[in-house]
Amino acid sequence: MSTPSDSGPGESVRPDGVVPGTPQVPACYRHPNRETYVSCVRCGRHACPDCMRSASVGQQCVECVGEAARSTRRATTTFGGRPAASAVVTWTLVAINVAVFLVTWVRPGIVNNLAMLGRASYTLGGPVHGVAAGEWYRLITSAFLAPATGLNGLGFVDILFNMWALIFVGPSLEGLLGRARFLAVYLVSAVGGGVMYYFLAPPYDPAVGASGAIFGLFGAWFVVSRRLRLDTRGIVMLIAINLALSFFFHNIIAWQDHIGGLLTGALLTAAYAYAPRKSRAVIQVLATVAVVALIVVAVAIRNGQLNAGGL
């Protein structure tokens, strides 16, 4: 015998207990056990509060929000970098330079191990030091040195001018180029200045200071100003005055480092600023690699010259 059901005439009950034709409470499409009457304004699917995100109009499910984020073009700076709310790289470089200055003030002896030096011996008949002796790191470590005593003798004047110049042009340039490109210009210019000094200065004369990197930023600012059709007279005057001072005080200022940094910064920034938009990121990376490769080749050539001559 059949057992009468509670359903009305003509109705049958499904195995899951649901009576066909009766209204069902909507559930979250990701969590079927959660009842909800809220639906996504884009796709119409019901979703619980954990699966919904506020939108400009109504609410959207997490899938629609993710799809919109993937389809939205990422904001970039004028020359392709990622926008930044603050000049983090600039102030970090200032902090590092000042910190190293204080360290060398307390322990001036470490300058001999980090200063730019072509090839020389600190003692008669002692071991040879310098870039030609395999100490390539001096090309970059020297750019963060500004000892209060010894070497160029500029002391506080050197660190004050360089940090003032970095603060003067750094934040604006970092905002235009983006953090990564700005840092690349700074560091590559520092090394480029060291390479020019390596070729033109006596290999036994040590040098320190961030001037090569600073002049690289001057060159970068000039290129950016030209690209944006801004007035360049101010930066040209600043470069001219500082180059004149470099040549006038050539006995205590490494003018070779200044020129090398200026040319390197201008060249690399030109590649960043004039790269076509369609393939800008690729060209900028390749340009950076190419400049670094040229520096490596130049250093290898100079190493061969000094070591072959026994200088």
Residues known to be catalytic: 211, 258
Cβ–Cβ under 8 Å, residues 265 and 185: yes
Question: DSSP alpha helices (H): ranges in the chain?
Answer: 62-71, 88-106, 111-114, 138-141, 156-177, 179-200, 211-227, 233-248, 255-274, 280-309
DSSP assignment string, 206-223 = -B--SHHHHHHHHHHHHH
Residue 70: alpha-carbon gap to chain centroid: 24
Residue in the structure block whose two tokens are 């995100």: 53
Round to whole Å and give the CA distance between 78 and 122: 48
Nearest-CA neighbor of 185 among 208, 164, 216, 210? 216
